[in-house]
Structure 1
Amino acid sequence: MDGEGGVLRERDWDRAWRVLLLGLLAVVTLAAAFDPGTPARYRAVTVALSAALALWHWWMVLAHPQWPERVLAPMAVYFAGLAVMAGVLSARHPAYALVVLVCFPMAFVALPGWYAYLGVALTALVAAGTPFVRLEPGDLWPRLLLALASALFAAFLGWVIRAMEAEVERRRAANRALESANERLARLGEENAALQGRLLAAARETGVAGERGRMAREIHDTVAQGLSGIVTQLEAAEAVAHDSAAVRRRLAVARDLARESLTEVRRSLDGLRPGPLAESRLPEALSALVSGWSGTHEVPATLTVTGTARLLHPEVEMTLFRAVQEALANVARHARAGRTAVTLSYMEDVVVADVRDDGAGFAPGETGGAGFGLTAMRQRVVRLAGSVEVESAPGQGTAVSVTVPAIPSAAGQEAT
């Protein structure tokens, strides 16, 4: 608001300077018109010249407010006419010397840039020849010196006024730039707030999707595999219904699988490590998994551990355990294998789990019915910057190799 008020005040001052000449011209014209020391006809001509000057000023300055200080050609013509007519009028009556003096500021009102100083010089010459300067007509040098002094003084005042105007304009431009910067910052703040909202929404969606994926993998690794084992045991019990001892054995296995699946579901909901890893190391947990799987499905299976076994980050061990679990589940469901071998290899930077069978295999490009299980395995492994490789061919068995970084347990706990 202060900037707008300053602009309005500056416009008011410009308008006042432009009207000043007309007001002063009216006053001195009245003085000249009623001066009893001059003939009536002489006074009439003086009034007519005053009216012509007023009309000239009105047309060139007031009727065309866009010309002063902007358009040189019409303003140069205007100021030359103003100075000449002011000089003529001051020669006819001394009161018009005031009009000549007003031409000094009018040079800065009308003429642009450095041309205003030429207008000041012209006004000084006109002023030196007016009767207001009380010198004899033959005193040329005193008149020239007086004209020079008047021009220098008026030019100095004009320069000060122009410098002040330039400083005001500079500050006004700086304020406009600051206001513009503040507006841009406000817009950026609004955009950042909107972007942050979108990022938070995306993060929530990503978190929800990640949690859904985790729950889907956990359900597949626990409930789905447990139910699959239970169904297998029930079907086997149905096939040997005539043998009560065999039926009881199958039902006992199914009951144990159901209990294990229930325990795993509870642990998955709490985000804990798989049950076999809760109180044992990975090699022992895999040994129990392989032997239990072999007894359940009546398929010979062995576990071989190479390298120096060491405690790894819980996420690494859980990923390897689930990968072997899924690979064995696929062997039971699809391979019709006669033997299965599991190898856990501890290397310097990575740990590799291999599951090989001598079953039916499948052609490249197929999944052998693995479906979501193999996808979940890859998702788990990729989260650790690992890799999954599957090699198979019809009638030549299948080999699944899972490689993950060997992140130590201590480093993993510090990272979390």
Structure 2
Amino acid sequence: MLRMLRVHDWDRAWRALPLCLLVVATVIAVADSSAPPYDRVVTVALAAVVAVWHWWMVLAHPEWPERALAPMAVYFTGLVALTWALSSRHPAYGLLVLACFPTAFATLPGRYAYLGVAVTAFVAVDGPSSLLNSRSPWLIASALTGAVLAAFIGWSIRALEAEVERRRAANRALESANQALENANQALESANLRLALLGEENAELQGRLLAAARQTGVTGERGRLAREIHDTVAQGLAGIVTQLEAAEEAANDAGAVRRRLAVARSLARESLTEVRRSLDDMRPGPLAESKLPEALSSLVSGWSAANELPATLTVTGTARLLHPEVEVAVYRAVQEALANVARHAGAGKTGVTLSYMEDVVVADIRDDGVGFTPLAPAGTGGGAGTSGGFGLTAMRQRVVRLAGNVEVESAPGQGTAISVTIPAIPAAAERETT
């Protein structure tokens, strides 16, 4: 900024130089008593005209010099003419002639400044007429030498100004780069501060998430154990009670009693095995050793024999291995629905359909029992949709956890249909999540 002020100061100094030398020359001319008073008045008047002319064309309009050719050409022509007139009246105004050399470069744009220097050189040797009429070679040589010297000095000044301007532009670019670098450093510091704050917030959030995950894990494990106990112990005990009640009713038929007791014994052993597997968080026993359709076939046939009710299993689509949790959910849903049919439906026949579709697997359980009027998602009344309260709730929780859904359709006297739909997550997903 200081350098820019100095350059501007030099520009103002060059433009003010003619006025300063004009004042000095006028003082000398007025102080010269050899000149008549009238001549001195005329000289002062011409000097005043030059002062006003220079002030109006240069100082009052600083945007004109070195930019607008027309007004500056008129100005410099008038300045040279007035300077010639003054230098003809008194030799002191030779100072003003000398001032015209730098003024040509300070006011005329581009190459026109050299033309102004040449014209000033003619005035310096007392005008064109004096130069042309003179037979002295030294006068011509001095005029040419003065013009060349003035042109060289002017060229040097302009080259120096150009270099100053170039350096000024380079300094501005450097200052801009430094400012940009400083802004970038400030932005980086701000970003680092925000990252540090985010790191602290993330650490705190991670702690909260870990605590929530532990609580969710505890709650999920409790729900899992409740569902597994219901699906194993509760259903096994219910089946055993049913067989014992049937054996008691057939007390006079020794063969029937033995069959019922054998079924009750078998249910008790299966329930014990399922409890052990559930506590170890393993798949249901039938799924541990066979595929889902085979396990359901065994479940349906065993249920039919135990309850002496006809039941069928139909498999549609291409059977394939699914994620263990999906197969467990389907198996438990069918198991729960069949248990409800045995306890409440009074059905004559039951059908189970397992459908493998492109993106879902569907298990449909239908019976022709007494049916009921669904009042709530959990269902009440008899048939496949009844679970004694917790059964269907546990089924829904297990299925919904896998982004599936459970639908129950029933009406009094028209049987019950329950449909379980679960995304067909492939078995490969198990390896990806472990």
CA distance in 2 between counterparts of 1:214 and 1:179 reads: 55
> C-alpha displacement at 1:38, in angstroms?
1.4
Answering whether residue 175 of structure 2 is matched by residue 179 of structure 1, we say yes
CA distance in 2 between counterparts of 1:67 and 1:46 reads: 28
Distance 1:240 1:13, change over 3 A: same
Distance 1:70 1:213, change over 3 A: farther
Answering whether residue 112 of structure 2 is matched by residue 87 of structure 1, we say no
**Are the aligned partners of 2:323 and 2:429 in contact in 1 as well (CA < 8 Å)?**
no
Answering whether residue 288 of structure 2 is matched by residue 290 of structure 1, we say yes
> C-alpha displacement at 1:40, in angstroms?
1.2
- Alignment partner, residue 233 of structure 1: 232
Q: Aligned-pair RMSD on alpha carbons? A: 5.1
CA distance in 1 between counterparts of 2:291 and 2:189 reads: 54
**Are the aligned partners of 1:129 and 1:143 in contact in 2 as well (CA < 8 Å)?**
no
Answering whether residue 2 of structure 2 is matched by residue 9 of structure 1, we say no
Equivalent of 2:426 in 390, 393, 401: 401
**Are the aligned partners of 2:402 and 2:423 in contact in 1 as well (CA < 8 Å)?**
no
Answering whether residue 129 of structure 2 is matched by residue 163 of structure 1, we say no
- Scaled by the length of structure 2, what TM-score is found? 0.59
Gaps of 5+ in 1: 262-275, 277-284, 302-321, 338-357, 377-393
> C-alpha displacement at 1:175, in angstroms?
2.2
Distance 1:114 1:128, change over 3 A: same
> C-alpha displacement at 1:157, in angstroms?
1.2
> C-alpha displacement at 1:75, in angstroms?
1.1
> C-alpha displacement at 1:241, in angstroms?
6.8
Letter in 2 for 1:168: V
Q: Residue deviations 1:322-341, cap 9 Å, x none?
A: 9633123222233459xxxx
Q: Which has the larger radius of gyration?
A: 2
- Scaled by the length of structure 1, what TM-score is found? 0.61
For this pair of structures, how many residues does the alignment match? 321
> C-alpha displacement at 1:178, in angstroms?
2.7
**Are the aligned partners of 1:70 and 1:112 in contact in 2 as well (CA < 8 Å)?**
yes
- Alignment partner, residue 73 of structure 1: 70
Q: Residue deviations 1:127-147, cap 9 Å, x none?
A: 12269xx99962364333222
- Alignment partner, residue 264 of structure 1: none
Q: Residue deviations 1:208-248, cap 9 Å, x none?
A: 69989998997898665444212222422551574798898
**Are the aligned partners of 2:322 and 2:426 in contact in 1 as well (CA < 8 Å)?**
no
> C-alpha displacement at 1:182, in angstroms?
3.7
**Are the aligned partners of 2:329 and 2:399 in contact in 1 as well (CA < 8 Å)?**
no
Query: How do 1:9-408 residues align onto structure 2 when only pairs under 5 Å count?
Result: 9-129=6-126, 138-139=134-135, 141-188=137-184, 197=194, 224-240=223-239, 242=241, 256=276, 259-260=279-280, 290-291=288-289, 300=298, 324-336=323-335, 360-361=353-354, 368=362, 371-374=399-402, 401-403=426-428
Secondary structure of residue in 1 paired with 2:97: helix
Secondary structure of residue in 2 paired with 1:232: helix
CA distance in 2 between counterparts of 1:238 and 1:118 reads: 123
**Are the aligned partners of 2:233 and 2:275 in contact in 1 as well (CA < 8 Å)?**
no
Letter in 1 for 2:326: A
Secondary structure of residue in 1 paired with 2:354: coil
Identity rate of aligned residues, in percent? 38
> C-alpha displacement at 1:256, in angstroms?
4.1
Gaps of 5+ in 2: 245-263, 300-320, 337-350, 363-395, 405-418
